[in-house]
Structure 1
Amino acid sequence: MDVLSDVLAVMRTGRARSALVAWQAPWAQEFAPVPGAAGFHVMLRGSCVLLRDGAEPVRLAEGDIVFRAHGDGHALADAPGTRPIAPACAPAPAGGPPPRAGAGATVTLCGAYELDPDLVHPLVRDLPDLIHVPAGSDPRLAAVVDHLAAELTEPGPGSDALIPALLDTMLVHLLRTCLGGRHRTGWAAALADPVTAAALHAMHREPGRNWTVAGLAATGGLSRAPFARRFTGLLGRPPLTYLTWWRMTMAAGLLRRTDLTVGAVAGRVGYGSEFAFAAAFKRRFGMPPGRYRRRPGGADQEIDR
């Protein structure tokens, strides 16, 4: 798998949710913080402002998209001074009638993705709090939005399967947009750099391989020392430190979502000794693999830097 696909497969959980919402001025709606989630708003008709504590209002025009990668609280309103009123919104679930949208109404497409807080990748953690995608800047993303809005408004046979697939496609395009900006830093820069990208893809393709720094350097055609400096400079951690973190993240996902034994999970992520694996896992998550598997839910673990 490529790195982005791998990251999404591990940290996604549950089903994405979406709704069409119609607003008639004056209107305002607060969105509470949702840890372990990422969300978006698409302006299908009209305009509004997005409000955050301590920040200037963000004006959204028809066709604009905003992506909140960290589930932080915010509000949407027709104007900065409008206070939230209830009931301000009427979601239209898949399979239900479209929202009533009279003359002058604002119509938005809202959605949210559940992420396992234990397994959120630094690629996502490093994203800005708010990403604003202006209308027309990404034709592929706009096409997905149009298709999704049409399925929500006029569902047909197979919509229950198609809508989640479109939401997943939208998430990939949103993350591509975030990673493809002109001024790349961190993970965006690392994935655009042929040397570090080659090493990252190699680690994700074969996480259980007995990698060395020299072996990873060779995947990008560089010698050991300059490769290590380049990787650490871009990602803030040495290559083998990231490899260990990724192995433990993969292991946690396998423990949560499969019936593999602890020994089988250890082998899958490159540990010949179950004891060594359990020790590494406990350093990462603060508990042995068996207890982690039995625990309902999960606490938010800060990723080692």
Structure 2
Amino acid sequence: MIDPLAEVVTLLQPSARYSKLVTGAGPWRIRRSDAGEPFYCVVLEGGCRLAAGGNGPLELHSGDFVLVPEVYGVAMSSLAPLPDDAGESTPVAVAAGEFRIGDQEGSADLRMLIGHCSFGSPDADLLVSLLPQIVHVRGEPRLATFVQLVRDEFRERRPAREVILAHLLEVLMIEALRATAAPPASPGLVRGLADERLAAAIRRMHEQPTVGWTVAQLAKEAALSRSAFFERFSRAVGLAPMAYLLNWRMALAKNMLQRNEAGMAEIAERVGYGSASAFSVAFARHVGLPPARYARQQAMPAALTSL
């Protein structure tokens, strides 16, 4: 059975940017801006507060894991209250890949691992839009283990490091997303898969993207009326069923074009189009340029890198 969540994470092509160990003591507050990068944080000991992506502050404790697939601003503070007029703290480097915030003397009351990764997919914006805005997982020691493995692999320059990191990050993200106990508040793929009726239709779209699905056929897969399915799907996923299917087909097509793994006619067939010309028209309308030109553009950076 095709796993839509695993497919989306795999297509994202995550890679490690950096991770660091942060210790803290006493009252402190830090803020920073990020350009839409994926952010993760795992609390190893103690606790803190975190606000990211416009979401309200979360109180984090030992064993908690937070994943923000696309973050533009992060604010973190100690659980100990600070005066309103207190300034921001400056992290101090104490060792390679290790920083301290707050009081610099005495024992730390917080240890956490934070980091950023990047997505190599040319369709990253679309795929990220299918994920929750923020994932907060509590009481899953497996996640802490995976994050520690990512940190260790990142710091050790051993053979096949990038391959190991890519697979570890894929597993880490899937574990975090599937460990979310309740449907997330923000629409997306995880919320759709949490609904058993919708999950059946989503899996069918992923299993057979070549089929000329209609809303009525997908509603039948979900055992819902056409109108009930359309409304329920749109509310949960954030896209109408046919828009989701089109976006998914185009994501698959972009991946195949980027990898140059098939001819135009075969790609058209594998994403549900009866001819290369019909696929080319749909792709150009969706992406803004014909598939052949898109493939050439994707090949240029790789060619320049190999020089």
Confirm or deny a common fold (TM above 0.5). yes
- Map 1:119-268 onto structure 2 (within 5 A): 119-121=124-126, 124-125=129-130, 127-128=132-133, 130-134=134-138, 136=139, 138-145=140-147, 151=152, 160=161, 162-178=164-180, 180-181=181-182, 186-187=187-188, 188-222=190-224, 224-268=226-270
Aligned to 1:6: 7
In 1, Cα distance between the equivalents of 2:250 and 2:125?
12
Give the superposition deviation at 1:9.
Answer: 1.8
Higher strand share: 2
**How far does the alpha carbon of each residue in 1:128-157 deviate from its partner, in whole angstroms, 9 at most, with x for none?**
3x44334x2x344344346556x4599698
The equivalent residue for 2:61 is 61
Query: Could you list the runs of 5+ residues in structure 2 that have no partner in the other structure?
Result: 300-307
Q: Which moved more, 1:38-47 or 1:184-193?
A: 184-193
Q: State how far apart, in whole Å, the 2-side matches of 1:123 and 1:53 are.
A: 13
TM alignment of 1:45-60, pairs within 5 A? 45-50=45-50, 58-60=58-60
| 1:177–1:31 distance in 2 versus 1, CA, 3 Å | farther
SS of the aligned residue for 1:70 comes to strand
1:38 partner SS: strand
Conserved in 2, the CA contact under 8 Å of 1:18 and 1:109? no
Number of residue equivalences = 285
CA offset at residue 11 of structure 1?
2.2
Q: Is there any run of 5+ residues in structure 1 with no aligned partner, and where?
A: 93-97, 298-305
Contact 1:119 1:253 in 2 (8 A): no
Matched with 2:117 is: 113
Percent of aligned pairs with the same amino acid:
32
For residues 183 and 164 of structure 1, what CA distance do their matches in structure 2 show?
Answer: 26
Q: Using the alignment, how far apart are the partners of 2:45 and 2:296 within structure 1?
A: 47
User: What is the one-letter code of the residue matched to 2:68?
Assistant: R
Q: Measured at CA, do residues 206 and 295 of structure 1 come closer, stay the same or move farther in structure 2, by a change above 3 Å? A: same
> More displaced, 23-32 or 162-171?
23-32
Structure 2 partner of 1:34: 35
Task: Give the distance between the partners of 1:53 and 1:182, measured in 2 at CA.
Answer: 18
Counterparts in 2 of 1:66 and 1:217: CA distance versus 1, 3 Å: closer
Distance 1:102 1:126 in 2: 41
Residues 214-223 or 98-107, more deviating: 98-107
**Cα contact 1:19–1:91 (8 A) shared by 2:** no
Aligned-pair distance for 1:33?
Answer: 1.0
Task: Decide whether the 8 Å contact of 1:141 with 1:174 is kept in 2.
Answer: yes
Q: Matched residue of 1:16: which SS?
A: strand
Question: Which amino acid in 2 is paired with 1:10?
Answer: L
Secondary structure at the aligned position of 1:215 is classed as helix
- Cα drift, residue 107 of structure 1: 3.0
SS at match of 1:43: strand
Measure, in 1, the Cα distance between the counterparts of 2:111 and 2:4.
35
Structure 2 Cα separation of the partners of residues 31 and 215 of structure 1: 47
Structure 1 CA distance, aligned partners of 2:228 and 2:50?
Answer: 44
Can you list the C-alpha shifts for 1:177-213, whole angstroms capped at 9, x where unaligned? Answer: 34x3156663444212232211110110111122233
Deviation of 1:86 (Å): 5.9
Q: Distance in 2 between matches of 1:55 and 1:270?
A: 38
